[in-house]
Structure 1
């Protein structure tokens, strides 16, 4: 697996929660983190969290009907995907889940609100 690219102000990190028995539109809607809104230190923290999520991506998923996963991507200014990763929810760093909870849900197509 490759590491995510360094995060610059032009990047957008897209996080989407998938799976589970019940479909909850509010939780399934892609959430965007517009890197321009964060300091270099915050972008560095986010990069480290994305890198650490990668270690949980290769693991075997626990069987069961109600399992969720996160699809993570880093996009450039044109919306092109530079990096993709799918991680089981159980393997996601808790801090990255917090970023997901606070992320912008109104920018579904990569457009800033």
Structure 2
């Protein structure tokens, strides 16, 4: 494995080697001897691929509430004329002029 050092003083080796004393004799060894092979390193486990997060579904927009037709009293004296709301003669006129007071909102 080793070769003997050469030269007049037995201190010379081939290029890339150096002369060392091993058990009393001078031997040539490489400058950087190869390390003894060890066990094969275990490959690092690959991380399992994570599923891509799914975007949350957007809620369907709720329809905007439609404003109810404005229901109000047109005449200024509806509170005083409430007794005419159910009168057969005045009911149509009271529904037109005093819809809120007569409780006729939302009726066609």
Q: Same fold (TM over 0.5)?
A: no
Query: Which has a greater percent of strand?
Result: 1
TM range (shorter): under 0.3
Larger Rg: 2
Q: TM-score with structure 1 length normalisation?
A: 0.18
Q: Which has the higher contact order (CA 8 A, sep 6+)?
A: 1
